Amino acid sequence: MNTRAIALGLGLGLLPSLSTFAVDIPKVEVGLGYQFLHDQQLETNFPAGWLASLNGNVNDWLGLMAEFSGSYKTVDELGSDVKVKVYTFMGGFRFAKYFDRGAAYFQLLGGAARLESSGQVVGASFEAATTKFAFQPGIGLDGRLTDHLRVRIGGDYRLIFTDVVKTNEWRAHAGFVITFGGVS
């Protein structure tokens, strides 16, 4: 008997026992966390930010996702402080692989990005806001802390379709996830 035949026999023999490694797939996941955003067009970082997410798993690999986030920065423009804010309201799909100790995921989100700025420049006050379509693919890892609490880290690329130029943003985030129920 050759080595391949032995490996194949062992692999087939182990198939029935794989069910003993069954993983509880949460029905609902609620995430809260911190985000750091870099905007390539503004050539600036937004060190203050938050995100909240809600994921409902349809089965053991597909979830329907909603995410809300905010990033903030005050910049010096001609000697005056200008406040810049970026809010997103996104929805889409999460593709995940769950393990005993956590999960790995890839997600595709689309929705609205709202850009706001306000302040005083050369003695004149101003406020500006615009809402545009955004697309955001991302990846992440969850590590299980308890049966219903995980720690999450991830990264995303965000493309905002503005009238003049496409805005590219990179985001890193970390936070906690609370899980509920199980997918049968």
User: Domain coordinates of the chain in residue numbers?
Assistant: 27-180
The two structure tokens encoding residue 59: 């089965």
Chain centre to alpha carbon of residue 54: 10
pLDDT in tens, 88-128: 999 999 999 999 899 999 999 999 999 998 988 777 888 99
| Cα separation, 175 vs 184, whole angstroms | 27
The answer to whether the CB of 75 falls within 8 A of the CB of 44 is: yes
pLDDT in tens, 35-78: 999 999 888 999 999 999 999 999 999 999 999 999 999 987 77
pTM value is 0.81
Task: Give the angle 34-39-44 at the CA atoms, nearest 5°.
Answer: 90
Dihedral-angle region of residue 123 (phi above 0 means left; psi in -120 to 50 means alpha; beta otherwise):
left
| Domain 27-180 belongs in CATH node 2.40.160.20 | yes
